Amino acid sequence: MISLKNIAAALLLYSSVFVAQAQGEQHNWYFGKGAGITFNGDSAVAVGNGRLFTEEGSASISDKDGNLLFYTNGITVWNRNHKVMPNGNGLLGGNSSTQSALIVPKPGSATIYYIFTTAIQAQSDGLRYSILDMSKDIGNGDLVFKNTFMISPATEKLTAVRHSNGKDWWVIAHRWNSNAYMSFLVSEAGVATQPVLSNAGTVHGGPNRKAIGYLKPSPDGNRLAAALWNDDSNFELLTFDRSTGKVSNPILFKGFTEAYGIAFSPDGTKLYGSVKDKKTGKGQVIQFDLRAGTPDAINKSATVVARSGSPVIGALQLGPDGRIYVARKDNLHLGVILNPNAAAENVIYRDNGIKLAGRRSDLGLPNFVQDTTR
């Protein structure tokens, strides 16, 4: 018999991790072919007011109360009124870059945001950032600096984790033709010009298409996971030090096809990855149990928990409602994993989880920072 004490403890664990996901900043998503979702409590409602069209990456941000501020595909920036911002064109992200954009609030400022961008398939534009000031254009925002160069070549992987000091950020990317993860400190002083380099894990290199695939942090920010896309794909799990920006302890999970999307469960005990089933030609989601023990045991825990009717599925994104949303290429719906904390055999997946108000999903879903302070 399960005791009430154990149930209460489990709920406390869930809520303590889930709080970091439940902020208003992530309540409006724009992605795919004019698609959008707005979250309110436990409900997710499709909206058709977005102007963004992209094959893959996008980013959006709202205020702490869930009111939309702006969104981008890494090339163009739209304001809260769905109009292109002044100077809002010409960013050097890629329309077909996995994580083409990432929005990071500047520490110590209520109005300044950085938009980091990645180029397509390790091309020369590389990793860059632009600066947006929400106090401009009567509070609707304006790009005041664009396309500051950071490093090239870089993969399409781009994420951010709150520093252990609870104020600053680490923006994390990966050098191309290298095994180096790059952590750039973002503080009140701005964006650090030199990253913390960590030579950890496999070399991300070869044919440029191998630059494809997501990089995501765990809810507590202490782990990273990467999808290394190819016909014979891998997933990579690593440790992240939020004090130093160092990446270490790589674990490689081999033998998958078209590994692309990554998401952790809200409680951080499960890792999900999107792949393709060679036999059926359809998309699948794999779950890894991170509590299985040894790296070999975690690898052996890999279980198919979702099968899609779509030949290609892409991004996996944890929503503020605690569910994981699954991008289905050129589809009128997103898939939804309703209970991602569950053991593999108990996972509930709905392929037509949310209808997109006549708009279509593509490969990407919005890219968000991982804030561990709330």
- Taking only the tens place, the pLDDT of each residue in 282-293 is 999 999 999 999
- Give me the percent of the chain exceeding a pLDDT of 90: 89
What is the identity of the amino acid at 336? V
**How, if at all, do strands 68-72 and 324-328 pair?**
unpaired
Chain mean pLDDT for the chain? 93
Per the CB < 8 A criterion, the answer to whether 172 and 160 are in contact is yes
**312 vs 330: CA distance, rounded Å:** 9
Confidence of residue 311 (pLDDT cuts 50, 70, 90): very high
Structural domains for the chain? 19-355 (2.130.10.10)
Contacts of 48 (CB under 8 A, 6+ apart): 34, 35, 36, 357, 358, 359
Q: State the DSSP H helix or E strand holding residue 59, giving kind and residue range, or none if neither.
A: strand 59-62
Q: Which two tokens stand for residue 180?
A: 């180096």
**349 vs 336: CA distance, rounded Å:** 6
- Of 139 and 5, which is predicted with more confidence? 139
**86 vs 193: CA distance, rounded Å:** 27
pLDDT tens for residues 71-129?
Answer: 999 999 999 999 999 999 999 999 899 999 999 999 999 999 999 999 999 999 999 99
Contacts of 31 (CB under 8 A, 6+ apart): 52, 54, 58, 315, 327, 361, 362, 364, 365, 366
Per the CB < 8 A criterion, the answer to whether 205 and 178 are in contact is yes
pLDDT tens for residues 243-259?
Answer: 999 999 999 999 899 99
SS (H, E, C) 159-196: EEEECCCCCCEEEEEEECCEEEEEEEEEECCEECCCCE
Q: Which two tokens stand for residue 259?
A: 């590994």
pTM score of the predicted model? 0.93
The arithmetic mean of pLDDT across residues 219-240, rounded, is 93
Q: Which residues of 337-346 are buried (b: 16+ CB within 10 A; e: fewer)?
A: beebbbeeee
pLDDT tens for residues 14-54?
Answer: 433 444 444 799 999 999 999 999 999 889 999 999 999 99
- Block residue for tokens 């664009």: 146
The arithmetic mean of pLDDT across residues 181-196, rounded, is 98
* Omega before 153 within 30 of 0, i.e. cis: yes
Confidence of residue 3 (pLDDT cuts 50, 70, 90): very low
209 pLDDT higher than 90: no
Per the CB < 8 A criterion, the answer to whether 21 and 317 are in contact is no
